[in-house]
C-alpha cells in the first residue's frame, strides 16, 4: 500500500510540474511576441475622441507592421482619474493588455493601479495587478472586450462607441 501511495505522489508531482512548465511556456511565448513587436519600427496613426460621462481627451494610436495592426495604445481621463492602455495583437487577436490607472481624491495622494492580462485563445490566461497574480474575471473580460472593440473600431473610427460600454 505504501508503494502505491508513493507512486501516486510522484505522479501528482510530475503532473503539477508539467502544468507549470506549460504555463510558463505560454507566458514566455506571449512575452517574446510582445518584445518582438516593441522592437519593430512600426507605422502609426493617431486619433482623438471624447464622450460625455465616459472620456475627456481620449487618444488612440494604432501601430502597424506592414498593413497589420499589432499594437494599439489608448489613453484618456475623466474627473480626477486617467488611464493608459496598451493592447498587443497577433494575427488580429489580442495576446496581451497592459493598463495603468491613476487617480484619487482631490485632497489625497494619487493611486496607481497596473493590470497585465496575458491572453490565449481569446481568454485571460493570467491576470496580474501590480506583481500579484489575480483571479479577477471582471477586469480580464472587460479588457479583452475593449481590446477586441478598439481593434474593430479602426474601420469605423467610432472609438467612443467601441470603448464606452
H or E segment to which residue 48 belongs: strand 43-51
pLDDT of residue 80: 86
pLDDT of residue 70: 98
Residues of the chain below pLDDT 50:
4, 6-21
In a domain, 137, yes or no: yes
Domain span including residue 134: 42-163
In a domain, 67, yes or no: yes
pLDDT of residue 8: 42
In a domain, 85, yes or no: yes
d(CA 21, CA 120): 16
d(CA 98, CA 125): 14
End-to-end CA distance of the chain: 59
In a domain, 55, yes or no: yes
How is residue 86 annotated by DSSP?
Answer: E
pLDDT of residue 20: 43
pLDDT of residue 23: 63
In a domain, 27, yes or no: no
In a domain, 154, yes or no: yes
pLDDT of residue 105: 77
Amino acid at each position: 500500500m505504501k508503494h502505491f501511495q508513493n507512486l501516486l505522489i510522484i505522479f501528482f508531482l510530475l503532473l503539477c510540474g508539467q502544468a507549470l512548465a506549460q504555463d510558463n511556456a505560454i507566458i514566455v511565448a506571449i512575452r517574446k511576441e510582445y518584445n518582438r513587436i516593441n522592437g519593430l519600427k512600426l507605422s502609426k496613426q493617431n486619433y482623438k475622441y471624447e464622450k460625455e460621462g465616459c472620456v475627456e481627451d481620449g487618444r488612440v494610436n494604432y501601430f502597424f507592421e506592414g498593413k497589420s495592426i499589432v499594437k494599439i495604445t489608448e489613453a484618456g481621463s475623466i474627473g480626477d482619474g486617467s488611464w493608459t492602455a496598451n493592447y498587443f495583437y497577433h494575427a488580429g487577436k489580442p495576446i496581451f493588455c497592459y493598463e495603468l490607472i491613476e487617480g484619487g481624491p482631490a485632497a489625497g495622494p494619487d493611486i496607481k493601479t497596473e493590470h497585465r492580462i496575458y491572453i490565449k485563445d481569446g481568454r485571460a490566461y493570467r491576470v496580474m495587478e501590480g506583481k500579484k497574480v489575480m483571479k479577477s474575471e471582471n477586469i480580464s473580460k472587460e479588457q479583452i472586450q475593449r481590446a477586441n472593440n478598439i481593434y474593430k473600431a479602426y474601420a469605423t473610427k467610432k472609438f467612443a462607441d467601441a470603448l464606452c460600454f
